[in-house]
Structure 1
Amino acid sequence: MTKIERNKQTEHQFNAFIDYYLSFPSYLGSYKRSFDILIKDVLATNSHVDYITYPLLFLARHCMELGLKTNIRYFAKYSGKDDYVKAGTHDLENLFRAFELHVEKTFENLKSKYGIEVEKEDKKSFKDLCKEVENLNSTFHALDKNSDAFRYPVDKEQNPSFNKGERINIIDVSELLEKSMTLFVHTADVFAKYTDYADEIENYYEGLMKEQYEQNMPY
């Protein structure tokens, strides 16, 4: 390990403000940057990926989990559903289904409650990207259902975490993770033009009701 020289610059550089970024999007970004740094290190050092495979795959899998949970929390406001909003699960398949449910219900509620129709092209782009992301999600679910196989060599029953001969191409993982991040980071941005309008309508009616209430208050 490289010894870190202690000086004013490094003391500031390595002083972590761990209470500053307590949000799901911040955690997601942090784990994804860590994944990218390790990938670049493998390329730069011409090392075989095996020497950091497990933490690398854990980071990628955790990005998937955080990305799904981040979006579930965002869309729950508009979907009217509470499925997996406060989930203590690591099950990627259930989280992925819940994510799709919240987005689909958001589409329905935007139309039924606010008369807002989501454009067909936006729906299609979302569904097409979901199909690609589901490939990586399913791979991680099969390899590490409970989010412990990349952390420990054996499961709770002391069985090997992986079968003999199991392989996974990290380049494939990296490429699919990039597409996953596009889905996780930009889905809310793409549909913000609809949800922001719904927020404006809600705020307008709340203000109107407050005004009417205050006008009827006895003085």
Structure 2
Amino acid sequence: MTQIERNKRTEHQFNAFIDYYLSFPSYLGSYKKSFDILLKDVLVTNSHVDYIAYPILFLARHCMELGLKTNIRYFAKYSDKDDYVKAGTHDLENLFRAFKMHIDKTFETLKAKYGIEIEKEDKKSFKELCNEVEKLNSTFHLLDKNSDAFRYPVDKEQNPSFKTGERINVIDVAELLEKSMTLFVHTADVFAKYTDYADEIESYYEELMREQYEQNIPY
């Protein structure tokens, strides 16, 4: 165990305000930061990744799950769908499918309700990045469908969590996770020019309806 001297500085440093960052994006950022710290530790200590393989892969997998759920919750406002918004599932395949559905329905809704057309280049870039991210998503789905294989050595039926000789390169995981974070963190930013415009339209009509209502109130 790492011995930490208890003094005024360390007492402040290690006093965790766990009620401060209760949002999906904050959780996503926290788990990604933890993944990066462990990855760097393997490199600088010249250790083999095996000694922390399970927690480091769990962190990466959980980043995928949080990233998908974060975006599903965000784009549900524009997709007019509630699929997986309150999902308790850990199934990455279904979550990834729901994520893409919410984006596609957002495109359709923006065009149908507000006449907003998504530029072809933005759609293309999104699709290409999805194809890259799906590689890692599918890998984790196959290795750890229910989010327990990286946490326990056996499944609920007491079978080994992994087959003999099963391998995964953590550098490959790290590279694909970076692309995943680009998708998860910046998709909303990329499409903000469309969704912000839709918000402005909604705000305008809400204000217009409020003014008309107030004008018709008898005094």
Normalising by structure 2, what TM-score? 0.99
- Whether 1:160 aligns to 2:160 is yes
Q: Distance in 1 between matches of 2:113 and 2:127?
A: 23
What is the deviation of 1:7? 1.1
Q: Tell me what 2:102 maps to.
A: 102
Deviation per residue, 1:108-140 (Å, 9 max, x gap): 111110011111111000000000000000000
Deviation per residue, 1:161-192 (Å, 9 max, x gap): 00001000000000000000000000000001
Name segments (4+ residues, structure 1) moved above 3 Å.
none
Residue ranges of structure 2 left out of the alignment (5+ in a row): none
Q: What is the correspondence of 1:14-25 to structure 2 with a 5 Å cutoff? A: 14-25=14-25
- Whether 1:178 aligns to 2:149 is no
Q: Tell me what 1:204 maps to.
A: 204
Q: What is the correspondence of 1:21-170 to structure 2 with a 5 Å cutoff? A: 21-170=21-170
What is the deviation of 1:89? 0.1
Percent of pairs identical after alignment? 88
What amino acid does structure 1 have at the position aligned with 2:66? L
Q: Distance in 2 between matches of 1:157 and 1:24?
A: 32
Q: Tell me what 2:189 maps to.
A: 189
Q: Distance in 1 between matches of 2:6 and 2:116?
A: 57
What amino acid does structure 1 have at the position aligned with 2:99? F
SS at match of 2:17: coil
Root-mean-square deviation over aligned CA pairs: 0.4
Q: Distance in 2 between matches of 1:7 and 1:199?
A: 50
What amino acid does structure 1 have at the position aligned with 2:46? N
Deviation per residue, 1:11-62 (Å, 9 max, x gap): 1110000000000000000000000000000000000000000000000000
- Whether 1:216 aligns to 2:205 is no
What is the deviation of 1:8? 1.1
Q: Distance in 2 between matches of 1:121 and 1:115?
A: 18
Q: Distance in 1 between matches of 2:26 and 2:13?
A: 19
What amino acid does structure 2 have at the position aligned with 1:213? Y
What amino acid does structure 2 have at the position aligned with 1:57? L
Q: Distance in 2 between matches of 1:113 and 1:218?
A: 33
What is the deviation of 1:2? 2.2
Q: Distance in 2 between matches of 1:196 and 1:10?
A: 43
Q: Distance in 2 between matches of 1:15 and 1:125?
A: 42
Residue ranges of structure 1 left out of the alignment (5+ in a row): none
What is the deviation of 1:91? 0.2
Q: Distance in 2 between matches of 1:48 and 1:86?
A: 39
Q: Distance in 1 between matches of 2:44 and 2:193?
A: 41
